[in-house]
Amino acid sequence: MTTTSPGPDGPRPLPSPGEYVAWGISRILRLTTAGNRTEFLDFVRPRVRRRRSPWNLLLLPACFGVWGVLWYATARGLGEIYWMAHAVPPFSILPNGLGGLLIAIGSLSAAFAPSMIVANCLVWLVPAARRTFEAEAEPFPDLTFRSANQGFLRMTTLMTPIGLAIGMLGALLP
């Protein structure tokens, strides 16, 4: 199996599925000015490789923890709407069936981007982590704490309303 493709400057690594997803999301949210996928990957790969310190691992529990809390709050609220709309006493947080599935999936997608913003801010409060992140970003002046959160905010404006609409559909299904 080939892991590289020919390029003008020599062999290039083949794009991963995650890079295709990142390219698509960046195009939809207008986060990139790259004209094609190859130009985008040439721009992004060095920036991704800069994240090498163990402090970056702190982002994972911060993100998943906040995501879980936001998911629970959103799912709980949509579940309450379901129970009120159907005039039945609640037996669990989410109803059984398609409505519960839509509430769960909608809540997950609605809470994802806001959780990234909150996690970024929480980790930024750790002085040693903040210094390390600033040092890693030094060769790339366009990558700052502010620009990262602005990108997540753009993602929030797309994902949160769509997720809430999916969840509300689930809450109103019979």
Q: What span, in angstroms and rounded, lies between the C-alpha atoms of 83 and 126? A: 42
- Report how far residue 92's alpha carbon sits from residue 95's, in angstroms, rounded to the nearest whole number: 7
Structure tokens at 103: 């509430």
Q: What are the boundaries of each domain within the chain?
A: 4-49, 54-172
pTM of this prediction exceeds 0.85: no
Encode pLDDT of 73-130 as tens digits.
Answer: 999 999 999 999 988 777 888 888 999 999 999 999 999 999 999 999 999 999 999 9
Q: Distance between alpha carbon 170 and the CA centroid of its chain, in Å?
A: 22
At 76 the pLDDT is: 95
Quote the DSSP letter at residue 4.
Answer: E
Residue 51: per-residue pLDDT: 65
Task: Judge whether residue 152 has pLDDT over 70.
Answer: yes
Indicate the SS3 state at residue 86.
coil
Cβ atoms of 111 and 70 closer than 8 Å: yes
Mapped onto helix, strand or coil, the DSSP state of residue 10 is coil
